[in-house]
Amino acid sequence: IRALLFLKVTMHLAILLFFLLEAINAQFPRQCATVDALIQGECCPDLSPVLVPGSDRCGSSSGRGQCLQVIADSRPHGPQYIHDGRDDREQWPLRFFNQTC
- Give the tens place of pLDDT for each residue, 76-93: 777 777 777 777 777 777
pLDDT for position 69: 92
DSSP strands (E only) in the chain: 42-43, 68-69, 99-100
Enclosing H/E stretch for 15: helix 2-24
Distance of CA 19 to the CA centre of its chain: 16
Label residue 14 by pLDDT band (50, 70, 90): confident
DSSP 3-state of 46 = strand
